[in-house]
Structure 1
Amino acid sequence: MKYYKFEKNKIIMNILSKKILIGAFLMFLLNISFSYSQSENEKINNLIEKKRSFNKQNKNSTIFKIQLYNGSESQAYKIRNSFQSSFPEYRTDIIYKSPEWKTQVGNFETRLEADRAFLIIKEKFSGAIVLEDKI
Structure 2
Amino acid sequence: MLFQKRKKHLYTLILLTLFVSNFTLSGQNITVEQDAKFEQLLNEKRKVNSSIAMNDRWKIQIFTGDNENSKKTLLAFKKENKNIDCSIFFQTPVYKVWVGNFKTRIEAERNLKDIKLKYPNAFLIKPNK
Q: TM-score, normalised by structure 2?
A: 0.56
Asked whether 1:105 is paired with 2:99, we answer yes
Q: Distance in 2 between matches of 1:92 and 1:123?
A: 17
Q: Distance in 2 between matches of 1:126 and 1:116?
A: 14
Shift of 1:102: 0.5
Asked whether 1:124 is paired with 2:118, we answer yes
Unaligned runs of 5+ residues in structure 2 are 1-52
Shift of 1:134: 2.9
Q: Distance in 2 between matches of 1:115 and 1:104?
A: 14
SS in 1 for 2:73: helix
SS in 1 for 2:57: strand
**Equivalent in the alignment of 2:71:** 77
May I ask how many residue pairs the two structures share in their alignment? 77
Query: Which letter does structure 1 place at the counterpart of 2:66?
Result: S
Asked whether 1:115 is paired with 2:89, we answer no
Identical pairs, percent:
29
RMSD of aligned alpha carbons:
1.6
Q: TM-score, normalised by structure 1?
A: 0.53
Write out the 4+ residue segments of structure 1 that deviate beyond 2 Å after TM superposition.
Answer: 59-62
Encode CA deviations 1:68-108: one digit per residue, 9 max, x unaligned: 10110000000011111111110000111110000000111
Larger Rg: 1
Asked whether 1:67 is paired with 2:64, we answer no
Normalized per residue, which structure has more helix?
1
Query: Which letter does structure 2 place at the counterpart of 1:73?
Result: N
